[in-house]
A = this chain, B = another copy of it.
Amino acid sequence: MTKEGRGFLRKTKQREVILSVLRSTDTHPNADWIYEEVKQVLPNVSLGTIYRNLRILVESGEALELCYGSAASRFDGNPQNHYHFVCEKCENVYDLKVPVNDEVARRLSDVTGHLITDHRLEFYGICKDCKVYNDASTRHED
Residue numbers of A with Cβ under 8 A of B are: 5, 65, 67-70, 73, 85, 87, 94, 96, 98, 105, 108-109, 111-128, 131, 141-142
* A112-B128, A113-B128, A116-B124 given; 7 more Cβ-contact pairs under 8 Å: A5-B141, A67-B69, A96-B112, A98-B108, A114-B126, A114-B128, A121-B121
Q: A105-B123, A124-B120 are in contact. Are A85 and B69 (CB under 8 A)?
A: no
Stoichiometry, as copies per complex, reads: 2
Given the complex, which residues of B lie within 8 Å of A94, measured CB to CB? 112, 114
Complex: A117 Cα to B68 Cα, angstroms: 16
A124 touches B119 (CB 8 A): yes
B65 touches A73 (CB 8 A): no
B122 touches A115 (CB 8 A): no
A sample of 21 cross-chain residue pairs with beta-carbon separation below 8 angstroms, ordered by A number, consists of A5-B142, A67-B67, A67-B68, A69-B73, A70-B73, A85-B116, A96-B108, A98-B108, A108-B123, A113-B128, A114-B123, A114-B128, A115-B125, A116-B123, A116-B125, A117-B125, A118-B125, A119-B121, A119-B123, A119-B124, A120-B121
